[in-house]
Each structure stands twice: as C-alpha cells, then as structure tokens.
Amino acid sequence: MKRQGIITRTLGVVLLVLLPAMPAQALSPEMEMDRYLLAAQRHVRLGNFREAEQYLQRAVALQIPPPAEFYYVYGEVLHHNGKLQLARETLEKYLQQTQKEGEYYRDALELLTLIEEREAKPLASPEPDRASVVNAGTQQADTWMQQLKSLYLTDSTQEALLLHINGLLRNFVVRDSRVLNLDRADDHLYQLSVPQRGELMVTLRRAGENGYQYSNAKLRVFGINPYVEARCDRAKNLCSIAHPVSGKTWLEIRRDDKAAAELSKSLTALIKQLQE
C-alpha cells in the first residue's frame, strides 16, 4: 500500500508538470480569421506584403465568410504583389459589399485607379513626329484629368488633384517599424491643402508617445519649376518626393514605384494648375 501511494503521488506530480505543456483548445474558425487578418494588417504596416499575403491565404483556407474589411486588405496586398486582376476583383467585392458606407471606400477607389493605370498598355505605332507626341501627351493628360474628376465626383481640377494626392499619401503612409500598435492609424501622414491662391501647404502629422504632433510648410508656386522628382530607395523601403525648389526630401511614402510616379505626376499637375 505504501508503495502504491508513492506511485500515485509520483504520477500526480508528473501530470502537474505536463499539463502546462498540453496544447490549448483550438480557436474557432471565426477567431482564427480575425487573428490572420490582424497579422496581415501588421505586416502591411511594416511593408511586408509577401508575409501579409501568406496570412490572408491561411484565412481563405478556413472556408468561412470573411468580414468585409478582409477584401480591402487582401486587395491592397495583391496590388502590391503585382497580382492586379485578382486585386481588382477583390476590391470590387469589397465595394459591392459595403457600398459608399465602407470605411475604406475612397481608398479602394484609389487602388482601383492605380490598378487600371498599371494594366493599361500603350498601342504600338510608328515613330511619331514631335507635334504628334505633344498632342498625344496633351490628350492623355486631359483624359486622365477627366477620369480623376469622375472618380471624385467634382468639376474642380484643383479639388480632384488634392483628393487624389492625399489619397495616395494616406494609402502609402510611412510607418515606424519599431511600433507595432494596431490601434494607431498611421505614423507619418502628409496632407496637402491650398490655403490661398498660388500657395500650397504641406501638413505633416507625426505619431509620438504623447499623441500626434503637427508641422506645416508652405510653398509659393509662382515662378518655380512645376516638375517634381520621385526617388525610391529599396534599402529603406521608402519613396521620396523632392522639393521643387531646394531638391531636398519634401514628402515620403512607403516604397511603391507606381504610386511614387503617380504622386509625382499629380503634384506637377497641381502646381501647374496653381500657377495659372
């Protein structure tokens, strides 16, 4: 009996030691969906779009209806990873589900415009003369501007350009990789406005430990070169827009060559419009 008691106590100790190592009960598919979506959003914030897509694919494999937000995040990730057709279909599904009430309504429209531009292919043609090149460039610019006005439901060139630029700055906002706070909306958000004729103002909102800090910088556009340059740095995962006067860094976005080119094009058009 004494030996049996010793064995019983020994088994009890072994079980107590092993219990913490036993696997916890599996999460429900709905919770796993939320977990994968949060993990994907974290990787998007860090610019790790390949890793984000892997988590989203695991969410798809659960074979349960995802929340509407999933389609926007998946569309954004697919766009960054060059899967344009699937990205377009996914973003359209988000818009169909949420209509204009969706949290990412404007952002989804911005991404669809970028996808459309990336999918467009120039028609092959013989070498044109200089006059034909100028006319074709003007026609393309006019068509592009009309598309922006239709997208943002406005007849104002200035308003369409500002909405487009601020949308790009918001979609490709620079985030601090050291901060993994999913509740934080952004880290370094630029926004452009036109306080008065011939003047462009850039507002930078920085996220800090004590809240947001704001700084403003104004640019008088009369007499300056309207063409702005975009530069992308793969090592830093950033694209920057050069100041049209000093040439120093003026704006920064998360690295995306197409978005940087679109931002540069839109800023040039806005400065030209303000110089009229």
Q: Give the pLDDT score at 271.
A: 94
233 beta partners: 238
Tell whether the model's pLDDT for residue 181 goes beyond 70: no
Mean residue pLDDT across the chain: 80
For domain 29-119, the CATH architecture is: Alpha Horseshoe (1.25)
Q: How far apart are CA 159 and CA 165, in angstroms?
A: 10
Rounded to an integer, the average pLDDT of 205-209 is: 79
Which residue spans of the chain are classified as CATH 2.30.29?
Answer: 154-275
Tell me the fold of 154-275. PH-domain like (2.30.29)
Q: How far apart are CA 130 and CA 143, in angstroms?
A: 20
Q: What is the DSSP letter of 101?
A: G
pTM reported for the whole predicted model: 0.54
Which residue spans of the chain are classified as CATH 1.25.40.10?
Answer: 29-119
Rounded to an integer, the average pLDDT of 3-23 is: 45
Q: Give the pLDDT score at 139.
A: 73
**E strand map for the chain:** 188-193, 199-208, 211-220, 230-233, 238-242, 249-254
Helix (H) or strand (E) holding 154: none
Q: How far apart are CA 200 and CA 264, in angstroms?
A: 15
